[in-house]
Amino acid sequence: MIPLRFLLLFLLLPLTALAQTPKPIEWKRLGDDLEIALAGAPDASLFSGELTLLRTSLRAFSAQIIRADQFTKPQATVKFLCKQSKASVCINANYFDEHGKPLGLVVNQGNVHHKIHHGGKTLTGLFVIHRNGVEIVDRSYTRLPSVLEALQAGPRLLIGGKPPEGFRQNNTSTRRSGICLDHKKRLVIFAVSSTLLGLTLEQTQQILLHRDVGCVDALNLDGGGSTQLFVSGSIPGGIANGEDLSVVGRDEVPVALGLFAKERT
């Protein structure tokens, strides 16, 4: 398996760490209905990380929740969950408690495995999948009986193309992961590539709002040591010649979000 950062050196132009003017973010085809990009924040310093972004219209993929307990494990790496479930792309999802139990809503194949969490200022958003598509919504969402797949995390980073009112910024730089929907309703999955460097929430928002990314609604997922991203080398129409791409995390997780290739017709 080749580390993701090495492939990106060949795919993308280097980013100037101290540049203040937003540079173009160039998307490269990674497979059928799947693109990849690498982006740093406009105000990045030498100690800032970069985001790896994956984008799909979901024409060739379906998004589904993957639970570690499906494979008789309380927690597992995202790579393990991806390979066991035969997903093409996976990212870590829910936060979890000290016992490894997921926090907040988990819906898989229409079954509620963990109930929604209503308290606090962190788990404010839901990523829901229903027959009409996907949405990032507030946790007050009332159409849960129609949901096929869902996860809960937070905070919500963008609502309608803007940071939420009263959004609490902080200067903490850490590894981050998340999902967003752009102005074309494409799903963007993102994670900090480096195992050492991170981004603040504000820097993450800046990248997601970049004109070449164009996120409208965005949700922060569990970060830090949980941040993990895995791309199979056998995605439909893939260019990786059978090599997996991976952003490795420190912690095993109970839930992941996976993209599964649809059968071609």
Give the pLDDT score at 19: 40
In a domain, 75, yes or no: yes
Mean pLDDT of 29-53: 86
In a domain, 59, yes or no: yes
Q: What share of the chain in percent tops pLDDT 70?
A: 88
In a domain, 34, yes or no: yes
In a domain, 20, yes or no: no
169: pLDDT strictly greater than 80: no
In a domain, 121, yes or no: no
Domain coverage including residue 239: 27-96+145-160+176-265
Number of domains in the chain: 1
* φ and ψ of 85, to 5 deg: -90, -10
Element holding 204 (H helix, E strand)? helix 201-209
In a domain, 235, yes or no: yes
In a domain, 21, yes or no: no
In a domain, 203, yes or no: yes
Across the chain, mean pLDDT equals 89
Q: Looking at per-residue confidence, does 72 or 236 come out higher?
A: 72
Indicate the burial class of 20 (C-beta count within 10 angstroms; 0-12, 13-18, 19 or more): exposed
pLDDT per position as a tens digit, 89-115: 999 999 999 999 999 999 999 999 999
Give the pLDDT score at 46: 63
| Cis peptide upstream of residue 42 (ω within 30 degrees of 0) | no
Mean pLDDT of 227-247: 85
